[in-house]
């Protein structure tokens, strides 16, 4: 297995490629929640090392591993071994989606792989004994609908437990974000609605819903949906989002006063300026996706057009309106978003009850959204949510 250079403070599988290394590091973190297996990651990693930086190679190798596990899952399912099949399907979904993530434009091969991932997750959700995962869709601006999973609370006698609405980041999906410890959050007596929002997951791939600055449209629609359910306490709902979600969640909570708490899992302050710098550097910066991803998710014909659409992705003048309890977590050594931006966001938030947790190199979780030690980040965030929602 490749090793990190002596001066590295987080696990770097491919020292010369931040994007690939960050993805590998994230996948390793999911092993705690059965989203990956380190031996499988290493098998693929050794093959990837032959063509570092070639995203076509990346897609082929992760698709290959996904196919292998999907086949194993089907074989076990035919034998009646439901839990074994579910485990294989869960990992297959992750590998398919992580492989497809760097393939843009989304051609037929990419979308076919994504459909396999959705099928695998559906089989996984049907076969596991717990928690209960319900596929749902909720109305969004007329005839449109946003896809989501409602993961039901456990360890509670409440007929209507509190809930968290959890949105993706720039390049996440609801399936991948289930692997961000949601199993542990529902064990605290909190239901979780994990949703693809505008510009992410199924919403952009199959429904043509691009990224937009007024994310409260999706956040409010999700909460409207929870208000229709008899098994959720819609008066105790928090909003949480990761990475670019550090823009989504604070904006949603600032614009819709029904939310009782807000978690920015990684800070965003001025996303337009962030991308302007990246474009001026010809994308020679620490990015989680290829630079042209921003053009695709915004539905733009050029990078300049995409940058123009990011003009309103600024939180100054918005988060001053927030009143609910607010938590911001950030890594001290985050290579994608500066700690300075995190401090600007925190200072501007209007909530009286607000907390900023900076994870240091010494304690772990110092990288972007705590991907270098995800468990330490989830424990802190989920305990905070438990306290604020009275779970």
Q: Mean pLDDT, to the nearest integer, of 170-182?
A: 97
pLDDT recorded at residue 10: 57
pLDDT tens digits, 35-88: 999 999 999 999 999 999 999 999 999 999 999 999 999 999 999 999 999 999
pLDDT-derived band of residue 359, with 50, 70 and 90 as boundaries?
Answer: very high
What is the average per-residue pLDDT within 163-180?
Answer: 97
How many residues are present in the chain?
391
CATH number, domain 131-389, options 1.10.3720.10, 3.40.50.300, 3.30.70.2390, 3.40.50.1820:
3.40.50.1820
Q: What pLDDT is stored for residue 363 in this prediction? A: 94
Taking each helix axis from N to C terminus, what angle separates 82-100 and 108-127, rounded to the nearest 10 degrees?
Answer: 150
Domain ranges of the chain: 18-122, 131-389
What pLDDT does 9 receive?
A: 52
Please, what is the end-to-end C-alpha distance for the chain in angstroms?
A: 42
Tell me the backbone φ, ψ of residue 359, rounded to 5 degrees.
-85, 125
Average pLDDT over every residue of 268-288? 96
The alpha-carbon radius of gyration of the chain (Å, integer) is 20
Kindly indicate the confidence band of residue 7, based on its pLDDT and cuts at 50, 70 and 90.
very low
Q: Give the model's confidence band at 321: pLDDT under 50 very low, under 70 low, under 90 confident, else very high.
A: very high
Mean pLDDT over the full length of the chain? 96
Position 105 scores a pLDDT of 85
Q: Which residue's structure tokens are 């337009």?
A: 272
Q: What is the pLDDT of residue 81?
A: 98
C-alpha to C-alpha distance for 361 and 74, rounded to whole angstroms? 42
For residue 164, is pLDDT > 50? Answer: yes
pLDDT, residue 51, reads 97
**Mean per-residue pLDDT for 156-168?**
97
Inter-helix orientation angle 38-48/55-78, to 10°: 150
Fill in the DSSP letter of residue 153: P
Q: Confirm if 34 and 90 have CB atoms less than 8 A apart.
A: yes
The strand pairing partners of 242, in sequence order, are: 265
Distance (Å, whole) CA 94 – CA 57? 17
Question: Of all residues in the chain, what percent carry a pLDDT higher than 90?
Answer: 96
pLDDT category of residue 5 using cuts at 50, 70 and 90: very low
pLDDT given for residue 243 in this prediction: 98
pLDDT at 1 over 60: no
What residue ranges in 163-248 does DSSP mark as E strands?
Answer: 163-167, 191-195, 237-242
Q: What is the pLDDT of residue 2?
A: 47
pLDDT of residue 6: 41
Q: What is the CATH number of domain 18-122?
A: 1.20.1440
Local confidence band at 12 (pLDDT 50, 70, 90 cut-offs)? confident
From CA 330, how far away is CA 360, in angstroms rounded? 9
Q: What is the mean pLDDT of residues 164-192?
A: 97
Give yes or no for residue 4 having a pLDDT over 90.
no
Q: What is the pLDDT of residues 199-238, one digit of tens each?
A: 999 999 999 999 999 999 999 999 999 999 999 999 999 9
Q: Do domains 18-122 and 131-389 have the same CATH topology?
A: no
């Amino acid at each position: 297995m490749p090793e990190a250079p002596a001066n590295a403070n987080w696990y770097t599988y491919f020292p010369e490629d931040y994007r690939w290394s960050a993805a590998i590091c994230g996948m390793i973190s999911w092993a705690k929640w059965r989203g990956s297996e380190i031996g499988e990651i290493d098998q693929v990693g050794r093959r990837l090392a032959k063509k570092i930086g070639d995203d076509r190679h990346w897609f082929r190798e992760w698709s290959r591993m996904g196919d292998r596990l999907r086949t194993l899952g089907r074989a076990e399912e035919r034998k009646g071994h439901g839990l074994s099949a579910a485990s294989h399907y869960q990992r297959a979904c992750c590998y398919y989606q992580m492989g497809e993530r760097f393939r843009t434009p989304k051609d037929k091969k990419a979308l076919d792989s994504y459909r396999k991932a959705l099928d695998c997750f559906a089989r996984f959700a049907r076969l596991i004994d717990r928690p209960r995962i319900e596929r749902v869709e909720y109305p969004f601006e007329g005839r449109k609908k946003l896809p989501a999973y409602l993961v039901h609370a456990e360890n509670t006698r409440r007929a209507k437990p509190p809930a968290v609405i959890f949105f993706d980041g720039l390049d996440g999906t609801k399936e991948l974000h289930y692997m961000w410890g949601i199993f542990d959050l529902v064990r605290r007596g909190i239901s979780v609605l994990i949703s693809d929002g505008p510009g992410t997951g199924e919403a952009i791939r199959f429904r043509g819903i691009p990224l937009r600055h007024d994310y409260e449209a999706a956040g409010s629609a999700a909460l409207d949906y929870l208000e229709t359910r008899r098994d959720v306490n819609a008066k105790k709902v928090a909003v949480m989002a990761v990475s670019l979600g550090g823009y989504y969640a604070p904006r949603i909570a600032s614009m819709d006063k029904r939310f009782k708490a807000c978690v920015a899992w990684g800070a965003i302050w001025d996303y337009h300026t962030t991308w302007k710098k990246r474009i001026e550097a010809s994308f020679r910066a620490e990015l989680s996706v290829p630079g042209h991803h921003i053009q695709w998710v915004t539905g733009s014909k050029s990078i300049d057009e995409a940058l123009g659409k990011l003009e309103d992705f600024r939180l100054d003048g918005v988060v001053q309106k927030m009143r609910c309890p607010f938590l911001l977590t950030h890594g001290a050594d985050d290579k994608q978003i500066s700690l300075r931006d995190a401090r600007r966001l925190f200072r501007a938030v209007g909530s009286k009850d607000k907390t900023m947790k900076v994870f240091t190199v010494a304690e772990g979780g110092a990288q972007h959204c705590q991907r270098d030690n995800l468990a330490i980040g989830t424990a802190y965030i989920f305990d905070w949510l438990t306290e604020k929602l009275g779970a």
